[in-house]
A and B are shown apart, each in its own frame.
Chain A
Amino acid sequence: MKFFRDQARQLGLVLGVILIAVVLYYAGWLRPVEHWASTVAQPWLGLAYATIDSYSPLYSTTDSTLLAENRTLKDQLTSVVQQNQDLQVQLQQYDDYQAELKFAQQREYTILPAKVTTRLGSSTVGQWLYINRGSTDGIAVGYPVIYGPGMLLGVVDTVHESYSQVELLTNDGTTIQGQTQTTAATTGILQGQFGTSLMMNYIVKDQPIAVGDVIVTNDQDRLIPAGFIIGTVGQVTDEPSELFKSALVNPMVRYGNNAIVSVVLPTGL
């Protein structure tokens, strides 16, 4: 510690100079000095970077070159992101169709893949999908349309030459017969409501049905084979004054835009 006692004056002086320099710098008073130092050092730094450039080109590349390269890379990135998005959509469509095809092969149905091009309507007036398959593809009114592993989406209700309109099961006025996917099947008639769910009516009181039961088609509709999934029971209503029970059924279908659906053809029915 003797050293520090002996040199206190010099050390205090240096510390004071450093503090004053820091204060002056942050007060902005050293900007001219900084500018001057930068101007003087720049040619030498450029020379040093150019020397290093023989090992790595990064240090002598000009700003304009870097900017141009940056712009090109950004364009490429945008393009690649777009390509990736397209591929993700295609991958999803492939997965959709693979699930539909697997289901169809297990049940020995004949299916025709179709792309959802438009979705029209609202929950109040009903919702319709437009698919890119029409009469030239062999589509006819009443054909069921499924999504994924056998989830019934709706039924073809209008057919044009190159496209068709599909009415969703959840539309008001849509009626289909169904049953629970249990050993002792409980049957009922499902009617779409509010564009969001279905109501299963005419369930005989002594037949069991519970929240969570899966409801499937039961081969009672002429063009709709048995085993297509309609939805799951969300609520059961059993009024003592009513002759039948009813159940609220929530559809399981969740599909995105550009989804691949399948029209089930009657050849396998």
Chain B
Amino acid sequence: MSRLRTALLIALGAATVIVEIVSWSIPSLAWRIYPSWVYVAIITSVLSWPRSLYVAVGLGFVLDLFAPAPFGIWMLMLALLVVVSQWVKTTWVKQASALAAFAAIGCGMMAATIPIWFWLILSYRSAVLSPVIQLVPWWSWPISWLGLSVLSALLIRIIPSPYERLF
């Protein structure tokens, strides 16, 4: 990978962290849009396995430092996203198409919500979370999965991958 690509990836990661953190305080975006998911979906294509997993965990670590959730949730979420995406694409969809990318990333994003749901269920009645959860209808989750998976798949198709075996 060239230095330029590395620098671009780091800059995009830093921007993702900022946008992700800012999105938490915007009611219309919080719990609906996850910029870090899209970024991690892209790095699963741009970086080789398991490097993409390490970068995802690193990004999760940085987000955990700022997140109101218990420390470790973001690392687990992003690790699950990468692992499940990688598992699906190496086991089930071994073809380089936008649809395959969509399927793999979509499964990864569904898996990534497991830590959030676990946390939400445990702290459902907390004073901080209850009003937030009430603002977010149940159907926002599948819409998030769908929208972010489609967006990620399109970006993956647009951004050239140095690893032909991936998509």
Bound complex: CA of A234 vs CA of B31, how far in Å?
64
Query: Given the known A-B contacts A3-B91, A33-B65, A37-B66, are A17 and B57 also in contact in the complex, defined by CB atoms under 8 Å?
Result: yes
Q: How far is the CB of B22 from chain A (nearest CB, A)?
A: 5
Contacts A10-B50, A10-B53; A22 near B90 (Cβ below 8 A): no
Known: A3-B86, A37-B62. A14 touches B79 (CB 8 A): yes
Give the distance to chain A from B122, nearest Cβ to Cβ, in Å.
Answer: 15
Chain A min CB distance to B50 (Å): 4
Beta-carbon contact of A48 and B22 below 8 Å: yes
Q: Are B57 and A41 in contact (CB under 8 A)?
A: no
In this complex, how many residues of chain A approach chain B with their Cβ under 8 Å: the count is 26
Shortest beta-carbon contacts, A-B, top 3: A22-B72, A10-B50, A25-B71
In the complex, which of the residues B22, B26, B72 contacts A21, with contact meaning CB atoms closer than 8 Å? B72
A15 to B82, CA, bound (A): 13
CA distance A252 to B62 in the complex (A): 71
The yes or no answer to B54 lying at the interface (CB within 8 A) is yes
Q: Quick check: which of B13-21, B130-138, B140-148, B150-158 contacts chain A, the rest being far away?
A: B13-21
* A202 in contact (CB, < 8 A): no
- B53 & A14 in contact (Cβ 8 Å cutoff): yes
Taken together as a complex, chains A and B put the C-alpha atoms of A21 and B71 apart, in Å, by 9
Residues on B lying within 8 angstroms of A by beta carbon are: 14, 17-19, 21-22, 25-26, 49-50, 53-54, 57, 61-62, 64-66, 71-72, 75-76, 79, 83, 86-87, 90-91
Asked whether, in the complex, the Cβ of B18 is within 8 Å of the Cβ of A48, the reply is yes
Q: How far is the CA of A14 from the CA of B56 in the complex (A)?
A: 10
Q: Which of A2, A15, A34, A45 contacts B65 (CB 8 A)?
A: A34
Q: Is the CB of B71 within 8 A of A26?
A: yes
**In the complex the two chains form, is B72's CB within 8 Å of A18's CB?**
yes
Please tell me if the beta carbons of B61 and A41 are within 8 angstroms of each other in the complex: no
With contacts A33-B65, A41-B66 taken as known, whether A14 is within 8 angstroms of B91 at the C-beta atoms is no
Partner of B22, one of A10, A38, A52: A52
**What residues of chain A lie closer than 8 Å to B86, measured between beta carbons?**
3, 7
Bound-complex Cα distance A20 to B60 (A)? 14
Give A1-43 interface residues, CB cut-off 8 Å to B: 2-4, 7, 10-11, 14-15, 17-18, 21-22, 25-26, 30, 33-34, 37-38, 41
Check if B83 sits within 8 Å of A37, measured CB to CB.
no
In the complex, residue of chain B having the shortest beta-carbon distance to the beta carbon of A49: B22
Report how far A25 CA is from B72 CA in the complex, Å: 9
A45 contacts B18, C-beta separation under 8 Å = yes
- Say yes or no for A59: interface residue by CB 8 A criterion: yes
Q: Is the CB of B87 within 8 A of A3?
A: yes
**Which B residues are CB-close (under 8 A) to A52?**
22, 26
Q: Is the CB of B76 within 8 A of A18?
A: yes
Tell me, in angstroms, the Cα distance from A247 to B26 when the chains sit together.
71
Q: How far is the CA of A33 from the CA of B64 in the complex (A)?
A: 12
Cross-chain contact A21 with B61 (CB below 8 angstroms): yes
With CB as the reference atom, state the residue of chain A lying closest to B50.
A10
Alpha-carbon distance between A15 and B79 when the two chains are bound, in angstroms: 9
Specify which chain A residues have a CB less than 8 angstroms from the CB of B17 in the assembled complex: 41
Q: Say how far A25's CB is from chain B's closest CB, in angstroms.
A: 4
Contact B21 A45 (CB under 8 A): yes
CA distance A236 to B130 in the complex (A): 58
- Please measure, in the bound complex, the distance between the C-alpha atom of A3 and the C-alpha atom of B85, giving whole angstroms: 11
Set of chain A residues within 8 Å of B79, measured between Cβ atoms: 14-15, 18
Q: Which residues of B contact A2 (CB under 8 A)?
A: 91
With beta carbons under 8 angstroms apart, the residue of B18, B50, B65, B75 that contacts A44 is B18
Q: How would residues 48 to 62 of chain A score, 1 for a CB under 8 Å from any chain B CB and 0 otherwise?
A: 110010000001000
User: Cβ of A3: which chain B residues have Cβ within 8 Å of it?
Assistant: 86-87, 90-91
